[in-house]
A and B are shown apart, each in its own frame.
Chain A
């Protein structure tokens, strides 16, 4: 009862809601489904982590929401509801007003995400001038302010510098400043720390968390690093070959994984407090999206697989200790016992 109430409450306050999103890529092997029927929602001030291996559709999901999928890819179906409108139906110019203004995005590679021939200050003020119609001087002043918000020392000097004069961590801070300067409602971070070393990673994560608290933005944190997830997220979505296989609060998913894949992922993390000679791995490889196995996509690698797994599993609500959760596995469906 309490769970359904909370679920309903979240539905109402949902800032961004994705329903049944499908994105395909046309290849020589035919149409490849990179994102298959993804549905989730994000509330104001919430951090949602999306975890999964390379190629599982995390980034494609983010790019589909931003309408950045280009040929040969295509969003085939679904809705992305934001502020009462379906983003997938907006015109290009309406979409431009939302990008960078209402929904901002940070990329994985800070080294190449900034234009090498423009100063960092001019790149931040460009966003401000575009969306807030600030004049040159006000925008430049705000750019300095934003650099100090993201903890860059001597911001009034740094605004005049070029990207090659900054380190990777500093550039990622500039990217965050660019993303947050118009106070977006949603911030999508596509592996923001993957290219950084561990200490800088933690700084960037705590900075994003800190700024999220200040601005009340919802953050979508895409990562393959469960350490990042445990550091930031309220809720975790686990993806495997284009589908959401498990969703729940961070505590539930990380301490009590339901799906065999999530369990395998967590077991694969080396632990400093346990002695072991060999690291645990999940056997097998991620399936090629052009030739997906029948039924559950994880079936060929799953130790628990039974005959019923050849059929498509449907998401099922499960009991969580700290919030509602769903899992997409036959193990939690009534048919399992008879299978």
Chain B
């Protein structure tokens, strides 16, 4: 008995005094990397050239949206009826629509609608979903049952039909599109966060936090949600293109953004009447949608890979 102890304590005799030689591997370990989680992930994110390209596209789109009044060559609502339905020319690079409005300017202004619809609706969905999901996952029991059943009910509706229903009740308009799309997609956030919180709640550091006297709210907000953060970000970037497409669909059937505000979906909707002799009118906003959705999807995929801790070396 006492022998095993003596054996252990022999190499330790020096440690009460000297501190330096104790952790050789850690001392040089600190120079290995000091970037931490985010810097590491950012580095891996931009190693992928496709992701860099999509990031550039998203940056350009944001600039277009923010500085639309400066960048658009014409007023998007300015009608010159004598110039209606003209193909691309030097003074109208993408041509004009049936009211003689400049299509390029309308697409640039449409960026504002598409991006804001995508981002705001996903933020709304994210807030509702994260709140309900974390409560359900943390408390379990009856709370969980009630929230989980509502998640199932909400996600049982066909997506577009549900959006149409909400828009019918709320009436058309950009703000209502935000709300409708937010209500449409909170379930995926709630489901994911619930699962993660349930898993994280059982981790030892949650227990360590309880042992330190932390309250439930503090544990959820300070300790559990930061651990779900990467998943939530990825879900937002992957949710945005879906929201943009749904907005385009809603505007296409006349329930979304109302004219004269320019929206890509609504432009395509109007353009279909002229598609046989002026296809370019519908192709231009369609390409804008494709580019935006593709950029968000690629960026979201890249982000997911970059934030995945299992891929960290």
**Residues of A near any B CB (own CB < 8 A):** 66, 68, 93, 96-101, 104-105, 107, 109, 112-119, 126-127, 130-131, 151, 153-154, 157-158, 161-162, 165-167, 169-170, 175, 178-179, 198-199, 201-203, 206, 210, 226-227, 230-231, 254, 266, 269-273
Contact = CB atoms under 8 A, between A and B. Distances in A.
A130 B212 contact: yes
25 contacts: A68-B207, A98-B213, A100-B211, A100-B212, A104-B212, A105-B211, A112-B203, A114-B208, A115-B209, A118-B223, A119-B36, A127-B213, A130-B213, A130-B218, A153-B20, A161-B30, A167-B23, A179-B212, A199-B11, A202-B8, A227-B8, A231-B8, A269-B1, A269-B4, A273-B3
A305 to B, nearest CB: 25
A179 B204 CA distance: 14
Residue with the highest number of chain A CB atoms closer than 10 Å, among B11, B15, B27, B210: B210
A210 B214 CA distance: 27
Contacts of B209: 115
Given A68-B207, A114-B208, A230-B1, A206 B15 contact: yes
A153 to B, nearest CB: 6
A166 B26 contact: yes
B226 interface: yes
Contact of B208 (A113, A158, A227, A270): A113
A1 B103 CA distance: 103
B205 A272 contact: no
Interface string B234-276: 0000000000000000000000000000000000000000000
Interface in B1-43: 1-5, 7-9, 11-12, 15-16, 19-20, 22-23, 25-27, 29-30, 33-34, 36-37
A154 B30 contact: yes
B22 A203 contact: yes
A5 to B, nearest CB: 30
Given A130-B214, A227-B5, A116 B227 contact: yes
A99 B226 contact: no
Contacts of A118: 222-223, 226
Contacts of A169: 23
Contacts of A165: 29-30, 33-34
A204 to B, nearest CB: 11
A117 B213 contact: no
Contacts of A179: 212
B205 A115 contact: yes
Contacts of B91: none
Interface string B180-204: 0000000000000000000000011
